[in-house]
Amino acid sequence: MRYCGRDFQAAEIALIRELLAVQPPLDRARLSREVCERLGWRRPDGRLKDMSCRVAMLRMQTDGLFTLPPPRTAKPPAYRAHPEIERAVQPPPIAPSVDLAGLRLELVSSRADSLLWNTYIQHHHYLGHQPLPGAQLRYFARSADHIVALLGFGASAWKTKPRDAAIGWTPEQRASNLHLVVNNARFLILPWIQCQNLASRVLALATRRLPDDWHARYAYRPVLVETFVEKPRFTGHCYKAANWQYLGDTQGRGKLDTFHRRSKPVKSIWIYPLRRDFRRQLCKE
């Protein structure tokens, strides 16, 4: 049975059931860490994939394989407003000009920066704020002292036919190497900023420094970036201008679809190789 990109054998499901029967019972966080330890489910940098494990076990519970202990606390809201930060993300009286030559990216690294990034996305991105899945990096793009754009990178899609065909990997190779693909999950040019070529310039800066920043945080370098652009809301022209490759469109079924029905917006699929030999890297056994 496959969950969160991993195949679980019957013996492994039985092991989870045994851990659920331990007395005193383990809470969900301790259980997910213990399962990862027993199964050797780790990230490339050696850390446990406990969040992926927790999501996998929730889906196993939905499929009737076992019953998890109740959560210790209520699920926190995806976004919590902070009045002083809410004021900071409002449109300025006069929109700042943008100097493309002086444009720079800043990595979100502090709690204050994280809250500010979340608030900008909540107020000005059409999808609002949602936690990015898995390993992730977030950036501010600044011109002088002004934030003009924001980007977020997170875990790639588990499966998408045009991308997988372009790579040419087998299901086994995809399961082993999917972490080398990173998804540009959020891209926002602030609505009061008007500057030709700004979006493609920001994308170029991001793809240039992403491998080193990712390595500094997660101890490996991705080799490919993907993104999904909702149609007809956006055309994807800025990705084309930044030399991304258009691969085709999604079927609008969503990653958890089991009924083969279109329930999500159709999106165009774009990729940007971070290495010339990305196919060889992704098709390694």
Q: Indicate which CATH number applies to the domain containing 108.
A: 3.40.630.30
Q: Is residue 156 domain-shared with residue 235, that is, in the same domain?
A: yes
Among 43, 62, 81, identify where a domain stops: 62
183-to-154, 186, 214 alpha-carbon distances in Å: 5, 9, 12
Kindly state whether residue 84 falls inside one of the protein's structural domains. Answer: no
Which segments of the chain have a pLDDT < 70?
74-76, 253-263
pLDDT in tens, 127-170: 999 888 778 999 999 999 899 999 999 999 988 999 999 999 99
pLDDT value for 75: 67
Residue 114: how many other CB atoms lie within 10 Å: 12
Q: Is residue 196 domain-shared with residue 277, that is, in the same domain?
A: yes
Q: Is residue 57 domain-shared with residue 153, that is, in the same domain?
A: no
pLDDT value for 44: 81
pLDDT value for 255: 53
Kindly state whether residue 271 falls inside one of the protein's structural domains. Answer: yes
DSSP conformational letter for 145 = T
Letter string b/e over residues 152-172, b meaning 16 or more CB atoms within 10 A of that residue's CB: bbbbbeeebebbbebbebeee
pLDDT in tens, 69-92: 998 876 667 778 888 899 999 999
| Residue found by looking up tokens 């100097």 in the block | 99
Q: Is residue 249 domain-shared with residue 175, that is, in the same domain?
A: yes
Residue 271: give the domain boundaries. Answer: 98-282
Q: How many domains does the chain have?
A: 2
pLDDT value for 253: 67
Kindly state whether residue 82 falls inside one of the protein's structural domains. Answer: no
